[in-house]
Structure 1
Amino acid sequence: MAHRRWADLPAAEQAEQWDQVSPGTFHRVMASVQRTERHDRLMDRADLVLRALGLFAGLGAVTILGMTAAHFGSIGAPTQGLGVFGAGSASIVGAFLTVRRSRPGPPAR
């Protein structure tokens, strides 16, 4: 998407005509494109951080489920422990898959 913004900028002759009509127009256009690029980079970083946070939260939840299942096994109820671990893990995996499918794909270039 970023390359398209730069490709859509006017030719030098067109930019000169804009500046003759309204001085500073091309500089404002360039500043706007640069702000948009910076915003896109920040949004990409935020998306990466949120994905990592979700991954660690899911890993933490599975760890807690595993510890709970181990506790059930240590008190003589391994079947219940497996049920808790299996159902909990399946729901977490289902939630991750649902979120991934509901996100829109990358924009076409």
Structure 2
Amino acid sequence: MTARATLKPKLEIQVAVLDQRLTSLETRNESVPVRLTTLEQRFEHMSDQLEELNEGQHKLTTVVSGIGTKITWALAVASTLWAVLQMIGPTLLRLVFP
């Protein structure tokens, strides 16, 4: 009878541990969709931010390209005027100061 008496509390303890583990597992599994939903929301938010960053980078590239084109034209005009001035300048100075 003592063997049965010690077996019953062990069995009750094992059942209680098993019940607690199942409850814990259910709780964790119930929270998984919430975590996945949160991760999906964060991913979508980051994806939107990356799209906005890409659009901004495209606009910036366009502006910088336009500025580069204007600077190229300005340098071309300035160098052309400088070359013309170097060719015509001495002749004009001789006419003005004989």
Quickly name the TM-score band, shorter chain normalised: 0.5 to 0.7
Q: Summarize the alignment of residues 29-40 of structure 1 with structure 2, pairs less than 5 Å apart.
A: 29-40=36-47
CA RMSD of superposed structures (Å): 2.1
Q: What is residue 48 of structure 1 aligned with on the other side?
A: 55
Of structures 1 and 2, the larger Rg is shown by: 2
Say which SS state the counterpart of residue 23 (structure 1) adopts: helix
Give 5+ residue unaligned stretches, structure 2: 1-25, 85-98
Q: Greater relative contact order (Cα 8 A, min sep 6): structure 1 or 2?
A: 1
Give 5+ residue unaligned stretches, structure 1: 1-18, 78-109
Q: Summarize the alignment of residues 19-98 of structure 1 with structure 2, pairs less than 5 Å apart.
A: 22-76=29-83
35-44 vs 23-32, which moves further: 23-32
* Mapped partners of 1:49, 1:32: distance in 2: 25
Q: State the number of aligned residues.
A: 60
Give me the identity figure in percent: 12
Tell me the TM-score normalized by structure 2: 0.53
Shift of 1:72: 1.8
Higher helix share: 2
Shift of 1:73: 2.2
Kindly report structure 1 stretches of 4+ aligned residues shifted beyond 3 Å: none
Q: What is residue 12 of structure 2 aligned with on the other side?
A: none
Amino acid of the structure 2 residue aligned with 1:46: L
Shift of 1:35: 0.6
